[in-house]
Chains A and B, each alone.
Chain A
């Protein structure tokens, strides 16, 4: 049981660090990105109507970017294999269609849903770990909570995939590049889906173990 409690503590600490990294650091990075975009617009006299994030895959290997290695000053050629960029629509060049507006609203709702779902899963997870630390392992309530987390991860994966898919679809409707493809290849959020399925599988094992324990408790 001591080892179990140590693992629970480690898991809780790791999870809190991961939350810090994924939410607070992402927020800081997002702030820097937004600041960079605003600075770029001001510096280049751009008055863009909107912008969108794109994941690009080069169509050929001929694309080479020149860069300098700051360590020794030697020139380097960079061939992008994949790139994430921000595309600006200068004023008057892009008018949103009704379909794009609807997709934007759906994406906004999905984003909101992802945040709500994420925090709900987080709260349930903390409840489980605290319960485990009190040695309440084989309890019905914990099985229900773990089930909620597994389903939560599947829902997160599904929402994230739909969000990515709609974003790429929207970008492909508005933009076509000669050298790059706006790719659908990374839209499926396998991390969350696999995590959700693993959690549900582990929960089934815990459910069986709880059944055995109940039977054992009622053996006189």
Chain B
């Protein structure tokens, strides 16, 4: 059981690079990379909110639960 982060899928759909997203959500590229590669232990609501707003999506589009 794990939470899958589909940030790269959404970024590809929106044709947005990591650097561009990091500038828009005010999170360092290094931290976004940790999130994208699934190494993050947790995500703040404020970060999730900013990502959803920039990528114009729902939290469920970024996070997925897999059994």
Residues of A within 8 A of B (CB): 214-215, 218-220
Interface size class of B (residues with CB under 8 A): 10 to 19
| B34: min CB distance to chain A, Å | 6
**Interface status of B15 (Cβ within 8 A of chain A):** no
- Identify the closest chain A residue to B42 (Cβ): A219
The residues of B with any CB-CB pair to A shorter than 8 Å are 27, 31-32, 34-35, 39-44, 47
Partner of A215 from the list B35, B41, B43 (CB cut-off 8 Å) is B41
Interface SS majority for chain A: mixed
Some 23 contacts from A to B, beta carbons below 8 A apart, are A214-B41, A215-B41, A215-B42, A218-B34, A218-B39, A218-B40, A218-B41, A218-B42, A219-B40, A219-B41, A219-B42, A219-B43, A219-B44, A220-B27, A220-B31, A220-B32, A220-B34, A220-B35, A220-B40, A220-B42, A220-B43, A220-B44, A220-B47
- Distance in angstroms from B7 CB to nearest chain A CB is 10
In the complex, which residues of chain A have a beta carbon less than 8 angstroms from the beta carbon of B34?
Answer: 218, 220
Q: How far is the CA of A214 from the CA of B32 in the complex (A)?
A: 17
Query: Within the complex, what minimum Cβ distance (angstroms) separates A218 from chain B?
Result: 4
Max chain A CB contacts within 10 Å: which of B31, B32, B41, B43? Answer: B41
Chain A residues positioned under 8 Å from B47 (CB to CB) = 220
B26 → chain A, closest Cβ, in Å? 12
Q: Closest chain B residue to A218 by CB distance?
A: B41
Q: A218-B41, A219-B44 are in contact. List 4 more A-B contacts (CB 8 A).
A: A215-B42, A219-B40, A220-B34, A220-B43
- Shortest beta-carbon distance, B21 to chain A, in Å? 12
A109–B42 Cα distance when bound, in Å, is: 53
- A214 and B41 alpha carbons, distance in the complex (Å): 9
Cβ contacts under 8 Å, A220 to chain B: 27, 31-32, 34-35, 40, 42-44, 47
Chain B nearest CB: distance from A213 CB in Å?
11
